[in-house]
């Protein structure tokens, strides 16, 4: 798995963030005001990522796709919905 050391640069350039829904990642997305599609890890401790993604949906309108729902069709539909295309 690849990690970016300059995630701030990537966020600044992004029109949309597609990510897991860890607490730190979500706080960065909120701070930058970026639209997002969140795919919570079903393996996070006690469902933390599922709860965080749900809060992000309620607070800032993030789209949430579960791993079970995730495929090219659902991701494209979510992207079009978020970006208004």
Taking the chain (85 residues) in runs of 10, the rounded mean pLDDT of each run is: 79 94 95 96 88 96 96 97 88
Q: Is 37 helix (H, G, I), strand (E, B) or coil?
A: strand
**pLDDT given for residue 54 in this prediction:** 96
Q: Note whether 23 and 54 are within 8 A (CB).
A: no
Quote the DSSP letter at residue 68: T
Going along the chain from its start, the domains and CATH numbers come out as 14-79 (3.40.50.2000)
**pLDDT given for residue 55 in this prediction:** 96
The pairing of strands 63-64 and 17-19 is unpaired
């Amino acid at each position: 798995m690849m990690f970016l050391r300059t995630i701030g640069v990537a966020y600044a350039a992004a029109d949309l963030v597609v990510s897991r829904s860890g607490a730190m990642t979500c706080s960065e997305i909120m701070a930058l005001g970026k639209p997002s599609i969140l795919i919570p890890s079903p393996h996070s401790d006690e469902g933390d990522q599922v709860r965080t993604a749900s809060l992000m949906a309620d607070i800032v309108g993030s789209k949430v796709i579960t791993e079970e729902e995730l495929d090219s069709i659902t991701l494209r539909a979510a992207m079009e919905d978020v970006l208004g295309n």
